[in-house]
Amino acid sequence: MTNPLLQKWSTPFEMPPFEDIQAAHFPEAFNQALTNHQGEIQAIASQTQAPSFQNTLLALEASGELLNQTSALFFNLSASHTSPEIQAIERDISPKLAAHSAAMFLNAALFERINKLHQERTKLGLDAESIRLIERYHLDFVRAGANLKDKDRQTFAHYSEKLASCFTQFSQNVLADEAAFCMVLTEADQLKGLPDFVKSAAKQLAKERGLEQHNAHAFTLSRSSITPFMTFSERRDLRQSMWLAWCKRGENPGAHNNETVMKEILKIRLAQARLLGYQNFSEYALADTMAGSAANARDLLMRVWTPARLRAIQEREDLKTLSGLSDLAAWDWHFWTERVRKEKFDLNEAEIKPYLQLHKLMEAMFHVANRLFGVSFKQVENIAKYHNSVTGWEVTSADGKHVGLFLSDNFARSSKRSGAWMSTYRDPMNLTQEVRPIVVNNNNFSQGPEGKPTLLSLDDARTLFHEFGHGLHGLLSQVKYPRLSGTSVLRDFVEFPSQVFENWLMQPQILTEFALHAETGEPMPKALIEKILAAQTFNQGFTTVEYVSSALVDLALHETVDIEHLNFQEFESKTLQSIQMPPAIGMRHRLPHFSHLFSSNSYASAYYVYMWAEVLDADGFDAFIEAGDIFAKDPSQKLHEHIYSAGNRQDPMQAYVAFRGREPTVAPLLTKRGLPAL
């Protein structure tokens, strides 16, 4: 039978023909793609012509088309809509892909050509973007072991292959624990305190899971399910059960316990870092970032930690006073915080949520993108889909030109990993012809009952805007070379375009126009908007502490060299004691399920990047405040030109200065979070 993965797709927008694709098609496609790419690499490396930008760098950029297409499709499915068959293929193919990548980076003849071009890059008559491409390729090869000799090269390659298997195992273990947990409540007493919108979502989830018990309400470990339960449930014992299930992901006894695989990952990272001449993995990981070192990253975190910790301690006292609890615990925080907020600001989540309809907030984010960057979004119905809840939108520029295809996959399901993320089915490039991207945003919202709109919390709404910021970063790219396009920027810069976009959500003119009541259609009252804005810095001690503590534990973990004797619970506890973690607050992510750190190397020793980017986003949005217009033309154009469309065309600090006119300061971040500058 014909393998659709090996055919040219004639579908609208050249979307993968999902209805024809089966898991069994992937092994053949990967084998063919790897063979093709190996041949292309060998041809580039072994040619007799002297290395040139065209016959080496451009040839590399144009290579691997089938591999890129197959990998993008497969790993999007494995994250968004997996199956036992896909998971088995993932366990098999991940180390093979890692071995293939290592073989390319350790190809001595290929690196010799790249190294020669790097040495002569300023004499080749190239533009700045092309020189940047040479520099990034050279650094990629060096950081992947290209300068290593003999046995060290083989060892490094073996480690890369082993890491890929470990990452897959870790991720599948976490997903298994998340998918296995479902708290089903049927009695009125068990549902005490839950607003109608929470119960409606829980009944819908029970229906989706095929639960047949009378009055079944299902709650899972998706944030959009667990957070409202923790916020409103009056059953402290059930809140404790949910909290412990959340914390124990990846740590439960049995086949899905992550301790062994975590140690293996840390050992390999340390070994690879030392082969490359670094003392520890953190030193290696942060060498190619804006921060440059763990010391700089920690300095920023501690400048925020100190005032945040003091604020969190005061917040805890407020909770204890209101609750009367002497043993205030982590599973009490959301519940009593909601009551303190009601007392201090006459504001509660149940009052806000009916105004935050998912479809209206999507209209809002499209509206903001249009006002800032001139792009329009038109829903398309004729695209192939991997799940019926996915929606597609053609994106066009102000002059009607096709910009890309945007996919929105918003709802939680057991076949989807937790969290929220942006990815691509096709990346933008402008090598021999213009290729426009297919970008997808994944969220894990609880879907509304049939015939009813999906309602979001404020946190969910921010997540929606955050991921769309990443989506715009991918969609608007105008960079020539794939290696530099879209979101292929330094790790502590990639969160800036996403986080700065969040700022538009909370602007009164956006809320007035798009925050419409789900039943009455009335816009959010001005008084409610004012209360929301007044409460924006409320509970920021807690929010900051739960994040920064995770980032500090991450840095400390990857500076550790005695991994054999590492006890993860003790390590977390000792690290938190050293920074005087306030009681009754848990880390945002505990290590056994900390996918940022253990599902790839991307955020390892780099979870700090969200705070680093928040310095940029708070300072950057001030450009619009200073202009007196949140859609001011000058900063909008500069944000588009130097940030959203520019990819990795230049050093990120240079890009920021080109947008803002100066380097950022930390003061706006502290102001935004309501924390004093110490």
Using only C-alpha atoms, what is the Rg of the chain?
25
pTM score of the predicted model: 0.94
Beta strands in 375-415 (DSSP E): 376-380, 391-396, 402-411
The confidence band for 429, taking pLDDT boundaries of 50, 70 and 90, is confident
Residue 115 φ/ψ region, left for φ over 0, alpha for ψ in the -120 to 50 degree band, beta for the rest: alpha
**How many Å separate Cα 279 from the centre of its chain?**
28
Predicted pLDDT at 578? 98
Active-site positions read 467
**84-121 b/e with 16+ CB inside 10 Å = b?**
eebbebbeebbbbbbbbbbebbbbeebbebbbebbeeb
Answer yes or no: are the C-beta atoms of 469 and 632 closer than 8 Å.
no
The residue length of the chain stands at: 678
The values of phi and psi at residue 3, to 5°, are -90, 115
The values of phi and psi at residue 157, to 5°, are -65, -40
Answer yes or no: are the C-beta atoms of 124 and 273 closer than 8 Å.
no
Predicted pLDDT at 433? 87
**CB-CB neighbours of 431 under 10 Å:** 12
pLDDT tens track for 153-178: 999 999 999 999 999 999 999 999 99
Answer yes or no: are the C-beta atoms of 536 and 651 closer than 8 Å.
no
Which has the closest alpha carbon to 673: 614, 606, 586?
Answer: 614
Paired residues of 285 in beta bridges: none
pLDDT averaged over every residue in the chain: 96
For the chain, what is the largest distance between any 2 Cα atoms, rounded to a whole number of angstroms? 80
Which has the closest alpha carbon to 566: 290, 267, 196?
Answer: 267
Q: Is beta strand 434-435 parallel, antiparallel or unpaired with respect to 438-445? A: unpaired
pLDDT tens track for 466-509: 999 999 999 999 999 999 999 999 999 999 999 999 999 999 99
Q: Classify burial at 567, counting beta carbons within 10 Å of its beta carbon; exposed 0-12, middle 13-18, buried 19 or more.
A: exposed
Answer yes or no: are the C-beta atoms of 442 and 79 closer than 8 Å.
yes
Which has the closest alpha carbon to 623: 579, 668, 580, 581?
Answer: 668
Predicted pLDDT at 602? 94
Amino acid, res. 336: W
The confidence band for 34, taking pLDDT boundaries of 50, 70 and 90, is very high
Q: Is 395 helix (H, G, I), strand (E, B) or coil?
A: strand
Q: Which residue has the tokens 């923790």?
A: 230
Which has the closest alpha carbon to 652: 217, 289, 306?
Answer: 289
Helices (H), 415-484: 458-475
Distance CA 271, CA 267 (A): 6
Predicted pLDDT at 676? 86
Which has the closest alpha carbon to 117: 59, 57, 61?
Answer: 57
Paired residues of 184 in beta bridges: 218
**How many Å separate Cα 273 from the centre of its chain?**
25
Q: Quick one: what percent of the chain has pLDDT higher than 90?
A: 98
pLDDT tops 90 at residue 267: yes
Which has the closest alpha carbon to 63: 85, 102, 103, 36?
Answer: 36
Paired residues of 395 in beta bridges: 377, 404
| CATH architecture, range 169-180+249-347+539-607 | Orthogonal Bundle (1.10)
Amino acid, res. 334: H
Q: Quick one: what percent of the chain has pLDDT higher than 70?
A: 100
pLDDT tens track for 284-331: 999 999 999 999 999 999 999 999 999 999 999 999 999 999 999 999
In order, the DSSP letters of 213-272 are STT-EEE-SSHHHHHHHHHH---HHHHHHHHHHHHTTTTSSSTT--HHHHHHHHHHHHHH
Task: Decide which of 3.40.190.10, 3.60.110.10, 1.10.1370.40, 1.10.3720.10 is the CATH code for 354-534.
Answer: 1.10.1370.40
pLDDT tens track for 580-599: 999 999 999 999 999 999 99
What mean pLDDT comes out for the span 525-542? Answer: 96
pLDDT tops 70 at residue 672: yes
Paired residues of 51 in beta bridges: none
Which has the closest alpha carbon to 387: 22, 26, 90, 18?
Answer: 18
Which has the closest alpha carbon to 583: 542, 550, 617?
Answer: 542
In order, the DSSP letters of 513-526 are HH-B-TTT-PBPPH
Predicted pLDDT at 179? 93
Q: Which residue has the tokens 């591999």?
A: 67
Answer yes or no: are the C-beta atoms of 428 and 646 closer than 8 Å.
no
Distance CA 467, CA 212 (A): 35
Distance CA 486, CA 429 (A): 9
Distance CA 162, CA 319 (A): 47
pLDDT tops 70 at residue 678: no
Predicted pLDDT at 612? 96
Amino acid, res. 515: A
Amino acid, res. 479: V
pLDDT tops 80 at residue 31: yes
pLDDT tops 90 at residue 192: yes
Distance CA 91, CA 68 (A): 18
pLDDT tens track for 197-223: 999 999 999 999 999 999 999 999 999
Q: Is 409 helix (H, G, I), strand (E, B) or coil?
A: strand
**How many Å separate Cα 422 from the centre of its chain?**
6
What mean pLDDT comes out for the span 139-155? Answer: 96
Q: Which residue has the tokens 């969040």?
A: 502
Kindly report each contact of residues 318-321 with a partner whose C-beta sits within 8 Å and lies 24 or more positions away, as own/partner: 319/584
Domain range list for the chain:
4-105+107-143, 169-180+249-347+539-607, 181-233, 354-534
The confidence band for 247, taking pLDDT boundaries of 50, 70 and 90, is very high
Helices (H), 449-539: 458-475, 495-502, 508-514, 526-534
Predicted pLDDT at 677? 77
Amino acid, res. 677: A
Structure tokens at 531: 């209360």
What mean pLDDT comes out for the span 127-155? Answer: 97
Predicted pLDDT at 432? 84
Answer yes or no: are the C-beta atoms of 555 and 608 closer than 8 Å.
yes
Task: Decide which of 3.40.50.300, 1.10.4190.10, 3.50.50.60, 1.20.1050.40 is the CATH code for 4-105+107-143.
Answer: 1.20.1050.40
Q: Do domains 169-180+249-347+539-607 and 354-534 have the same CATH topology?
A: yes
Q: Which residue has the tokens 């991918």?
A: 474
Answer yes or no: are the C-beta atoms of 511 and 524 closer than 8 Å.
yes
Q: Is 138 helix (H, G, I), strand (E, B) or coil?
A: helix
Q: Is beta strand 438-445 parallel, antiparallel or unpaired with respect to 402-411? A: parallel
Which has the closest alpha carbon to 362: 223, 467, 236, 478?
Answer: 467
Cα-Cα-Cα-Cα torsion 521, 523, 525, 529, nearest 10 degrees, comes to 130
Which has the closest alpha carbon to 79: 442, 407, 427?
Answer: 442
